[in-house]
Amino acid sequence: DIQMTQSPASLSASLEEIVTITCQASQDIGNYLSWYQQKLGKSPQLLIHSATSLADGVPSRFSGSRSGTQYSLKINRLQVEDTGIYYCLQHYSAPLTFGSGTKLEIK
């Protein structure tokens, strides 16, 4: 199975700050990587697909990047509504696997 190592497990940041969350894949997954935001008591929502493409309706302060087998989600100008848990997902090969999640809180 492909392991997705996500870091950090949690972070606390201030409004308007820039934060970065990373996922390291245990093998090549190409651009078959997506990012999700889950708010408390809600279903996850797609933020980024194909490693770098913004999903419909997602604010442009979210962006995704790739360097080899390391994938990053960057949030510019952090807002209160960005609080939640963020997950990466590889869908290159079955079983599809998620990262362990990053809990983001606003100071």
Partner 1 sequence: QVQLQQSGAELVKPGTSVKLSCKASGYTFTSNHMNWIKQTTGQGLEWIGIINPGSGGTSYNVKFKGKATLTVDKSSSTAFMQLSSLTPEDSAVYYCARYGNSGFDYWGQGVMVTVSS
Residues within the interface to partner 1 (CB under 8 A): 31-32, 34, 36, 43-46, 48-50, 53, 55-56, 87, 89, 91, 94-98, 100-101
Q: Are 90 and 33 in contact (CB under 8 A)?
A: yes
Joined together, the tokens standing for residue 30 give 């190409």
Nearer to partner 1, 80 or 94 (CB): 94
Q: Are 35 and 50 in contact (CB under 8 A)?
A: no
CB of 4 to partner 1, least distance (A): 10
CB of 102 to partner 1, least distance (A): 11
Joined together, the tokens standing for residue 4 give 């997705």
Nearer to partner 1, 16 or 56 (CB): 56
CB of 12 to partner 1, least distance (A): 20
Q: Are 62 and 52 in contact (CB under 8 A)?
A: no
Cα–Cα distance between 100 and 1 in angstroms, integer? Answer: 15
